[in-house]
Structure 1
Amino acid sequence: MAELNLSPGASPKGTLFRETVQELGKEESYVQMIAKRFMKHRIAAAGLVIMFLIVLMAVFAPLLAPDDPYHVSNTFSGAPSSEHWLGTDQVGRDVLSRLIYASRVSIIVGIGAVAIYVTIGTLLGAVSAYFGGWIDMLIMRITDIFMSFPYLMVILVIVSILSPSLANVTMVIGVLGWPSVARLVRGSVLSLKQMDFVKASISLGLSAPRILFLHIMPNAIAPLLVHATFGMAQAITVEASLSYLGMGVQPPTASWGNMLTEAQSLTVLTSQPWLWVPAGSMIVLTVLSINFIGDGLRDAVDPKSIK
């Protein structure tokens, strides 16, 4: 904090304004430092560029797709040609168009599921750590119960009961994915609530929600952001697995997972690679890109890696 300038002509209001500008400058420089350290991670920077392109592809799918993804032509399981760059599927639909539109499903599931379980996990973990006692014990025992069940099997059962759809898959992945976030947030809040600024806030009589969400949680956002990034990759993988098993996004809606279902045939695997290689490659590329971004963020926000 800069010293007050009490010389003639100086006003406390002007000094306060300059101090505020200086503080904003410090925050901006911190963000710039994180960005520079992230960009030094070349693989993470490449992953960010690839993910940006995939998001653009999902947003502008109607403009990029060469054909209607639901249009059925007279060419069934056609090989790649000048008319259909990636060939056609067994129904006669353009593979490239369906591949482009399928990116929307992965983006929706990745962002939607992570948003749901980060919200749930953050609330439960923060409340558990801050209040402690029987509240902490109850929430942590519920967390242990959720983590004791096989994740994918429970999702399969619930989705089969609710009926497979994009909305149900996103909701189920989000509702069942919060335990790891709750544990992460709980650990961060437990360490932060012993800090002097929290004790000062309590002595000033600030309310618990204000202390928790305006003073503690902003300092715990870095590890949460990294965890959410890896969670997006996991959600995309789970959706692809469910769709491959026929319990995810249902045809005719295009999904990288349900495009892979045609690869269950040995004939397709050996003699018609255009039916499964593009979708499988997009899943691998997307998940690797997100994981590389997560690695870069982890290194950028880790104080131990500061040089």
Structure 2
Amino acid sequence: MNAPDSLLAFLKPEPVVYKSDSYMKLIARRFVRHKMAVAGLVVFALLILIGIFAPWIAPHDPNIIGNAFSAAPSAAHLLGTDQVGRDVLSRLIYATRVSLTVGVVTVAIYMAVGIIIGAIAGYVGGWVDMVINRIIDVFMSFPSLMVILVLVTVLGTGLSNIIIVLALLGWPAVARLVRGSVLSLRQTEFVKAGVALGLNTPRLIFGHILPNAMGPILVNATFGAAAAILSESSLSFLGMGVQPPTASWGNMLNAAQSITALQSQPWLWIPPGVIIVISVLSINFIGDGIRDAMDPKKINA
């Protein structure tokens, strides 16, 4: 390279290319900084694996009645047995399937319904928005626990009926949340640009508006899953949820509500009670982490 070329290279250096993180990488990095959220995610993932691999993890069949009734924890039964000789640890493991199924499936159903209805109400507006809002007001005006008890009594107990009832009462809050987000985003410049470009309504809503409103929706979903698990446990504890011999954390507590069990057989009620607390706390911590990670005020921190 001669002198003029070297001087030209000095005067015009190679452009520096800065690699900017994508939005999802930024969210993930902020989520990882939330230690309790990461711990909650690990615990929740572990619970999911326990539910999936329950037949291989459980030391005994959860419904087999043995000869040791209300036996204390031992090498043969690590968490003891219940009043009819069934292994408590095995029933606790299989009950994880029931509670997580209720939490995940219920939230998936009512989030899908609530997002669609709320997006239509917020984007279309007018009399459609008014009618949907009045329907939401009607659903949210009833005391939820009373309605759940009545509907479960009418439809019958069982896992599928519990999911249907909880989903039926869960979508209005999501619809109202989504409606508010869509109303605020509908007037933004990128939406107006999409309209000017001739994009159809479904593409505008689901391709451009909703992705920018996912923060509060995801947080609502996590807290909703925790609430669904608590609701199922409460119904099962009251004898109106999952029925024996199918194991659930709630009906395990129901079977241990006698004075004798509370005073002298703690292995019957402490394990299901602790696992309910752990699962709900882990999901709530995940929701806290998602909320902080997607907070626009902290997104550049």
Query: How far 1:95 moved relative to its partner?
Result: 0.1
Output the amino acid matched with 2:159.
L
From 79, 97, 101, the equivalent of 1:86 is 79
Identical counterparts, % of pairs: 63
Q: With the length of structure 2 as denominator, give the TM-score of the two structures.
A: 0.92
Q: Which residue of 1 aligns with 2:158?
A: 165
Query: How far 1:55 moved relative to its partner?
Result: 0.6
Query: How far 1:300 moved relative to its partner?
Result: 0.3
Which SS does the other structure have where 2:63 is aligned?
coil
Q: Which residue of 2 aligns with 1:124?
A: 117
Which SS does the other structure have where 2:297 is aligned?
helix
- Give a deviation string over 1:70-102, Cα, whole Å, max 9, x none: 111011111111110100011110000000000
From 204, 216, 238, the equivalent of 2:209 is 216
Q: Which residue of 1 aligns with 2:6?
A: none
1:38 and 2:35 are equivalent in the alignment: no
Structure-2 change in CA distance of 1:200 and 1:29 (3 Å): closer
Query: How far 1:220 moved relative to its partner?
Result: 1.1
Q: Which residue of 1 aligns with 2:223?
A: 230
From 287, 290, 295, the equivalent of 2:283 is 290
Output the amino acid matched with 1:60.
F
From 60, 66, 73, the equivalent of 1:73 is 66
Give runs of aligned pairs for residues 1-307 of structure 1, distance below 5 A.
29-306=22-299, 307=301
Query: How far 1:246 moved relative to its partner?
Result: 0.6
Q: How many pairs align?
A: 283
- Give a deviation string over 1:207-251, Cα, whole Å, max 9, x none: 222211111111111211111011100000000000000111111
Query: How far 1:204 moved relative to its partner?
Result: 2.3
Query: How far 1:114 moved relative to its partner?
Result: 0.1
Structure 1 unaligned blocks of 5 or more: 1-21
Separation in 2 of the partners of 1:205 and 1:293?
39
Query: How far 1:121 moved relative to its partner?
Result: 0.7
Query: How far 1:29 moved relative to its partner?
Result: 2.8
Output the amino acid matched with 1:276.
W
Which SS does the other structure have where 1:303 is aligned?
coil
User: Runs ≥4 in structure 1, deviation > 4 angstroms?
Assistant: none
Structural RMSD (CA): 1.3
Larger Rg: 2
Which SS does the other structure have where 1:223 is aligned?
helix
Separation in 1 of the partners of 2:84 and 2:193?
67
Query: How far 1:264 moved relative to its partner?
Result: 2.1
Q: With the length of structure 1 as denominator, give the TM-score of the two structures.
A: 0.90
Output the amino acid matched with 1:157.
V
Query: How far 1:30 moved relative to its partner?
Result: 2.1
Separation in 2 of the partners of 1:210 and 1:33?
25
Output the amino acid matched with 2:161.
N
Separation in 2 of the partners of 1:263 and 1:143?
39
Output the amino acid matched with 2:238.
L
Which SS does the other structure have where 2:220 is aligned?
helix
Separation in 1 of the partners of 2:222 and 2:237?
23
Structure 2 unaligned blocks of 5 or more: 1-16
- Give a deviation string over 1:21-46, Cα, whole Å, max 9, x none: x9xx86x6322221111111111111
Which shows bigger deviation, 196-205 or 162-171? Answer: 196-205
Separation in 1 of the partners of 2:88 and 2:104?
25
Which shows bigger deviation, 184-193 or 200-209? Answer: 200-209
Output the amino acid matched with 1:105.
V
Separation in 1 of the partners of 2:271 and 2:178?
38
